[in-house]
Structure 1
Amino acid sequence: MGISHRTIETKVYHFEQLSDEAKEKARDWWRQCEAEDPAWVAERRQSLEAFCKEFPIEVKGWEYDAYSYRIDRVWTAGPESQELKGSRLVGFLLNEYGPRVLWEPKVYEKGDKKRKSKIIMVETSCPFTGYCMDDDLLEPIRQYLKKPDLDLCYRDLMGQCLDAWGQSCVDDVADSMKDEQVDDAIISNEYEFDEAGGHI
């Protein structure tokens, strides 16, 4: 006796066509998927790794979610540089990282031609990887150079940079879980659902 087959037809809905209750179920599905495989993890990691190649700090491990973060860090330079502060730290940062990491020559464009200024420098934008987390990591240094805290040592400034990265990760994840962001993600990816909001 052969095996019989039967076909079950299910009406397919786009997110905008769902009831409010079904939309909530669809959002819950998307949030669970995002929690298991969050977006932008690789880019965040690449920014952090590139920062650590430039500065004397190594990250042994990290984790974050929509509420908190943890970063295990190790200082990789000698103890004397850890305690640099005040004018010595300002001078060190300017000489070591100013023209390479923090600033770049201003570019003038005229038609198809580009020319770099030999005098005027502008802040770099995402100099490590091109991802916005580069700037989050550098922001504490930029703020320090604008208004130096004479009691802040190099080691603690590096800690502030990593904390800025961690907090940005938390903020990104929290924002991605808001209804408006979830709805945009579902709609732009054209996911389909059954009438109750179950993903098909």
Structure 2
Amino acid sequence: MRFENVQYKVYAYNELSARAKEKALQDFCNDEDYIGADNEKSLDKFSEIFPVINLSWEYGDRNFINFDLDCEYEEIEKLTGVRLSKYLWNNYKTDLFQGKFFSLWSKTEKSKTNPKVGELKIRHSKTIKDNCCVMTGYYVDEALLTPIYEFMNKPNDNITFKGLIAKCLNSWVKCCNEDYNFHYSEESFQENCDSNNWEFLISGKMY
């Protein structure tokens, strides 16, 4: 028995040939799973707030979402215009808006972990409201809720409550699909290679 030391030339992604880059990206797409847990958390929270039931959906390959509404009264599904805007405000304002977040360093109270600096004070305003990612803190919240904010800002009689919920859910599918496609894109892969210092053999196989 004997051992040999073998040396390899390794390359950054941008040093590879076009064919090797294609192999590197293809290997990544074959091996890398897309993690959509945060997307689903936003959808789950939306379904807790609004009477959405019997959800079925898919994105990344086939893009669709099906649902039913379980409103207390059937006529709620058909609300439109100003009546719908008032209904949303009266029933969902605490879910759609929260006090604007503020933080500042106290000039009088000292930090318990570092007495040399002031205590960091965190507050939510009782008067100034904010609607940024109010459900889970993840940006996909915006895809779900933006149609509602836009409607409340400018009510119209051409969309019902059920139609508005459908618009929100379809916006979620579109947002998730765009994120899914970007995850497997060359641009995203290049960013991963640069940030993680990934290296490759001349064939494009990851070293």
TM bucket normalised to smaller: 0.7 to 0.9
Amino acid across the alignment from 2:157:
L
Deviations 1:110-143 (A, max 9, x none): 533455544332x221111111011110000000
> SS at the partner of 1:127?
coil
Q: How does 1:144-155 map to 2 (within 5 A)?
A: 144-155=151-162
Q: Are residues 168 and 107 of structure 1, via their aligned partners in 2, closer, same or farther at CA, if it must alter by over 3 Å?
A: closer
Q: Are residues 181 and 117 of structure 1, via their aligned partners in 2, closer, same or farther at CA, if it must alter by over 3 Å?
A: closer
- Quote the residue 1:134 is aligned against: 141
The RMSD of aligned alpha carbons is 2.4
- Quote the residue 1:166 is aligned against: 173
Amino acid across the alignment from 2:138:
Y
Point out where structure 1 has 5 or more consecutive residues left out of the alignment: none
2:114 maps to 1:119: no
Cα deviation for residue 107 of structure 1 reads: 4.6
- Quote the residue 1:25 is aligned against: 23
Amino acid across the alignment from 1:169:
C
2:6 maps to 1:9: yes
**Aligned to 2:50, which of 52, 55, 70?**
55
**Aligned to 1:77, which of 71, 78, 93?**
71
> SS at the partner of 1:58?
strand
Amino acid across the alignment from 2:154:
K
Identical-residue share of aligned pairs (%): 31
Q: Are residues 58 and 190 of structure 1, via their aligned partners in 2, closer, same or farther at CA, if it must alter by over 3 Å?
A: farther
Q: Distance in 2 between matches of 1:91 and 1:141?
A: 12
2:94 maps to 1:105: no
Is the Cα contact below 8 Å between 1:90 and 1:145 reproduced in 2?
A: yes
> SS at the partner of 1:72?
strand
> SS at the partner of 2:159?
coil
Regions of 4+ moved over 6 Å: none
Cα deviation for residue 60 of structure 1 reads: 2.6
- Quote the residue 2:184 is aligned against: 177
Q: Distance in 2 between matches of 1:133 and 1:17?
A: 35
Point out where structure 2 has 5 or more consecutive residues left out of the alignment: 107-120
Q: Distance in 1 between matches of 2:123 and 2:34?
A: 41
